[in-house]
Amino acid sequence: MARRQSSTPSAEIVQDYTENIVDIDVTSEMEGSFLEYAYSVIYSRALPDARDGLKPVQRRILYMMSDMGLRPDRGHVKSARVVGEVMGKLHPHGDTAIYDAMVRMAQDFSLRLPLIDGHGNFGSLDDGPAAPRYTEARLAAAALTMTDHLDEDVVDFVPNYDNQLTQPDVLPAAFPNLLVNGATGIAVGMATNMAPHNLVEVISAARHLIANPDATLEDIMRFVPGPDLPTGGRIVGLDGIRDAYAGGRGSFKTRAKVEVEQLSARRTGLVVTELPYMVGPEKVIEKIKDAVNSKKLTGISDIVDLTDRKHGLRLVIELKNGFNPNAVLQQLYRYSPMEDSFGINNVTLVDGQPQTLGLLQLLTVYVDHRLNVVRRRTAFRLGKKKDRLHLVEGLLIAIVDIDEVIQIIRSSDEASAARERLMSIYDLSEIQANYILELRLRQLTKYSRIELEKEQDELRREIEELEAILGSDQLLRDLVSGELAEIAEKYGTPRRTVLLESEAVSPTVAAAAAGDLGKAGVKGKAVPLALEIADDPCWAILTASGQIARTSNQDSLAESGPRSKHDVFRSVVKTSARGEIAAVTSQGRMLRIQVVDMPVLPPMSGLPNLAGGVPARDFITLLKGETLVAFAPLDEVLAFGTAQGVIKRVQPDYPLNREDWDAIALKDKDTVVGVAPAGDDTDLVFLTRQAQLLRFSAGSVRPQGRTAGGMAGIKLASGDQVIFFGAVAPGDDAAVVVTISGTDGALPGTAPGAAKVTAFSEYPAKGRATGGVRAHRFLKGEDTLLQAWAGHGPAKASSLAGVARSLPQEHGRRDGSGIPLSQAVEAIGPSMTWAEPETQDARTEEA
């Protein structure tokens, strides 16, 4: 194997070599190179153009997709194919940057009006998109308006990076994309961050500016009051928005949309349905958990993400009992991304120079651009129409003597000679003569003089309209304004973001959260609230339909007025928000209830709206066949009355370590029909189905222990049973007895009935264990009492005379019969409510 011999340069070559070293100033070189780099980043990458609101990469993606024919009525193609086309022909940068820009234009949570219709996983607020080989895309319908009429010389085209192709310098942009979709970008020494807006509002402002070029910022803000974020939410405080609209810089706070809901009978929660712009649910959950673990947040028991595609975002934050939901919400705003700040920095390119513009300036730049686009489009169409008219006029000249024209062409030696002869004989231009020469024989069949003359008239009319537009600035503005109106009607959607002037708290939410509905009318800025619900006085309510709730609005209990249907009280107990009461069941059980767990009734004028309660069965556990009879205080002597006439008074020595216990030992088939606080001077009342009423003093009943079975209360006849047991406060002159009679076994409404109201003082007190006195005389066809009540009278009849005026006098005697039920309802039902004396805790149903 031969050895390789290294050769050395000859002396002549060494002598011919001349060293050339250039001394430069490093500072100047760095400044120049850095300025070139900064300009490239600012102009070619990071900042959007104020006319179409697009960065170069976004503009190139839309243009290339339009050039590829990826319209909304055609199928999707792989995103990788689009990225490759854009990178190879127009954008010689990394494919990652192109795909990221493409993904953002397809995300409905990033853009208010997405420009790309993506198919596949284009990411979420918490996760990135799939690789471009897995996703597919095509242009969205709105993107067509951005690229329409590019073939009509509406914008300038510039060479691409290798001067082999051309690309538009700016897109026609049929709607103000920069304001509608916003923009974000970081350049060298500057950055831009613009909030999205509502399409209808922005176009309304642009049309107003077109019609009134001298409009002020205040005029424009009548149409655009603030940003409209894709994810909704609430914007709190508009001062920063006004600053940004005036000078191009400002900031505002965005908050999540949160509602206080009753998740279950005992559990209250905060339900989040909208989050601040660009904040994802997983980030919120993570921050909340971190704040709870670090003891910054208290009162939260759990957080569940129930978000799905059908119902959208739904975060359920469960609260511990006894905590003020509104106070917890204020903590969440402070320690979690449920409140975020958005800084507006309207830096855009205007004629290639970065400028910070306000709302009026941004709209002005867009309107000027759109006027220029439509003007150039009109001029292009006018030229095309004139060229076609010129050809049609030549055809009309030639078609009159088409046979001679054909003969001239056939007899000519070459095309140039034929052209010259046609031009000289028929006085045609060179363009007209060439067009006639290029016609094929088969095309002559479709030409007729009438059709050509009709086309000529239509072309002249269109040319006249186009010339009028070019000759009148007002017509041009009207045309642009009309096109904008069509865009708004086609693609406009209602506003999603709520604008709040200040940090005002909904009065209903604040009052309900604080357990004080009486202050629901207070307005103003949000003030720090106590985290835990205060132990304020309130009333626990049980309704006739089995709904339970609490209210702190004392006026609503005492105020008279017509009741809503089914809004009737069965039991009302005065307590406190963090106190305890007992629920008494038909089987003699008492259950300890935490008042703070009970739902708060929403405020309304007059009586509380009982629809805000929850069913008793959802709140407490009842046995089979067991019903809830009444609420009772735990610190007073209670009297129990049963269906078999048994009476029992119980001392308040209930077990402290149990949640439920038996308060009376019942006989077989016996049930509790009523329970009421009973001091020694209280009158106890039994009413039976056979219309017997027994009134006796509670002092005659010796209090017994919890395991006792009670003693005889009223002596019942064979087949009779108690339907009402209650207590009447001493000295209550307005107490009345209400009885409703009917037929036993008849279906409701199929048999006549009678109603009667009698003063309670009409009934004498009798001894315990006696049969009592007659309370209602049955008429023909009546054999039983359907309903009975004894207690405080109607609020609008403060005296017995008021009750007597409501019903005929002959029916006021205690042993008399009633009047027809329909007349009784007409007399007292619609106009009277049952008032509550200070010492009485039971409330009646209306007849």
Q: Which fold has domain 636-847?
A: Neuraminidase (2.120.10)
Domains 362-491 and 636-847 alike in fold: no
CATH of region 362-491 = 1.10.268.10
Nearest Cα neighbor of 754 from 810, 820, 697 is 820
Chain centroid offset of residue 830 CA: 39
* pLDDT score of 603 more than 70: no
> Which residues are 260's β-sheet partners?
270
Q: What is the per-residue pLDDT across 762-785, written as a single tens digit (0 to 9) for each? A: 889 999 989 999 998 888 888 888
Helix spans in 400-427 (H): 402-411, 415-426
CB 336 within 8 Å of CB 546: no
Q: What is the per-residue pLDDT across 344-394, written as a single tens digit (0 to 9) for each? A: 999 999 988 889 999 999 999 999 999 999 999 999 999 999 999 999 999
pTM of the model: 0.73
176 Cβ neighbours under 8 A, 6+ residues apart: 53, 202, 203, 206, 362, 363, 366
Predicted confidence at residue 340, as pLDDT, reads 93
Interatomic CA distance for residues 831 and 847, integer angstroms: 12
| CA-derived radius of gyration, the chain | 44
3-state helix, strand, coil in the chain (%, to 5): 35, 25, 40
When pLDDT is averaged across residues 455-482 and rounded to a whole number, the result is 95
Task: Find the catalytic residue in 17, 37, 134, 426.
Answer: 134
Q: What is the per-residue pLDDT across 500-521, written as a single tens digit (0 to 9) for each? A: 887 644 433 444 443 443 333 3
Catalytic: 134?
A: yes
Lowest-confidence range among 55-59, 499-503, 521-525, 556-560? 521-525
In percent, the amount of the chain with pLDDT more than 90 equals 48
Nearest Cα neighbor of 195 from 336, 337, 359 is 359
Interatomic CA distance for residues 500 and 307, integer angstroms: 26
The CA-based angle 518-523-525, given to 5 degrees, is 130
When pLDDT is averaged across residues 537-559 and rounded to a whole number, the result is 74
Predicted confidence at residue 14, as pLDDT, reads 54
* pLDDT score of 64 more than 80: yes
The domain segmentation of the chain, as residue ranges, is 362-491, 535-633, 636-847
Q: What is the per-residue pLDDT across 641-671, written as a single tens digit (0 to 9) for each? A: 999 999 999 988 888 888 888 999 998 889 9
* pLDDT score of 811 more than 50: no
